[in-house]
A = this chain, B = another copy of it.
Amino acid sequence: MRDVSIIGVGMTRFGKFEDRDMKDLGREAVWTALNDAGVGIKDIQVAYVANAVGQQLTELKGTIGQHVLTSAGIFGIPVINVENACTGGSTSLRGAYLEVASGNADVALAVGVEKLFCGDSAKSAQTMAAGTIYAKFGFMFVALYALQLKKWMAASGATKLHFAKVAAKNKYNGSLNPYAQFQKAMTVEQILESRVVAEPLTQFMCSTMADGAAAAIVCSSDIAKKISQKYPIQIAACELVSGTYNIPGEEHEEITTRAALKAYEKAGIGPEDVQVVEVHDAMSPAELRMYEELHLCKPGEAGMMIDEGHTTLTGRIPVNPSGGLAAKGHPISATGLAQVYEVVTQMRGEAGKRQVTNNPKVGLVENAGGWTMDDNAACAVTILKK
């Protein structure tokens, strides 16, 4: 398999855009990525397009990738529409990566696009909740997070104060990110005092709905060296797994850890080498768990990581410099590629006010989603290096 590099990235701002449809959002992300890479519409040989709930909330009821891409001037090529709940963006990247790594294509496009605001917020909320077959029993994801976090707090020693500190760090990062839905810093106190949704989770620890799109252009590393306008960022690994059955009383390896270990092995890179990270923090405290599950610290050290500031923009290993899902917004299938956008931008040193200061050579993206069998339906870990 050939080495593969990212030569262009693009994303829209995330937010509520009542007068923009998926074609419009997707086109902006794709064109931005094309211009960033310095390649033309006709250079794209194959495209993967991720979307999760467009069929339920928009007028596009199928072949959404073709609709979005033709509106960006791209047609005729193989277009593969993928869905993997919140992991759609990474699934799209994985497809583009495999096309190029295998030699099946030289230049491939990965897109993630989502439109959650449909003019009927009850419908949007219902659609989001219906991602699990237990919704009809009253099951809510936020309860699940809360249940898991309460257990994890007991095991790891992390506290609600730690959760609020992580959320505050990310709100600060988001305040510096022109693409974030919420560009407002918040104090630890404001976060702790916001409405309790499900103990220990408060309102400002939770991600909300957003519209948005993100895209990446990948090509073989050899070609990248010749054509890339900017420093190409190599995809050292892009590993996807699905959930496993959680048998009571038996060890259950976390899905994130399974994906990360595969990615570390594939990349020949260990967690100690990672210098900038975006994790899937649909609820901010999830970031703390990721420190441990991705082996960025030892079990029980997550609280220390945030207490000592290791994961701030100026820390040893900045995490979620974009603001993460709660500040940046979470347009399901766009999220994974927006995480990639962020890490590539940071590794290039182009992140402006939110630029991390450790000149990262290795970055990591963790992107999980969906729910089956008492586990996430999917999780992808991507390792980038320059």
- A: residues with CB less than 8 A from B are 1, 52-53, 55-56, 59-64, 66-67, 69-70, 75-85, 91, 94-95, 98-99, 101-104, 127, 130-131, 133, 136, 239-245, 258, 369-373, 377-378
Contact B372 A66 (CB under 8 A): yes
Contact A242 B77 (CB under 8 A): yes
Contact B63 A84 (CB under 8 A): yes
- Copies of the protein in its oligomer: 2
9 contacts between A and B (CB under 8 A): A53-B62, A55-B56, A59-B136, A66-B377, A75-B243, A77-B241, A78-B240, A80-B82, A80-B240
Which of B61, B69, B242, B243 sits near A130, CB closer than 8 Å? B61
Give chain B residues whose Cβ lies under 8 Å from the Cβ of A373: 70, 75
* Docked pose: A377 CA to B76 CA in angstroms: 9
| CB-nearest residue of chain B to A67 | B372
Give chain B residues whose Cβ lies under 8 Å from the Cβ of A104: 1, 98, 101-102
Quote the shortest CB–CB distance from A196 to chain B (angstroms). Answer: 28
* Docked pose: A173 CA to B258 CA in angstroms: 49
Contact A56 B63 (CB under 8 A): no
Quote the shortest CB–CB distance from A64 to chain B (angstroms). Answer: 8
Contact B243 A66 (CB under 8 A): yes
Which of B67, B69, B136, B378 sits near A66, CB closer than 8 Å? B378
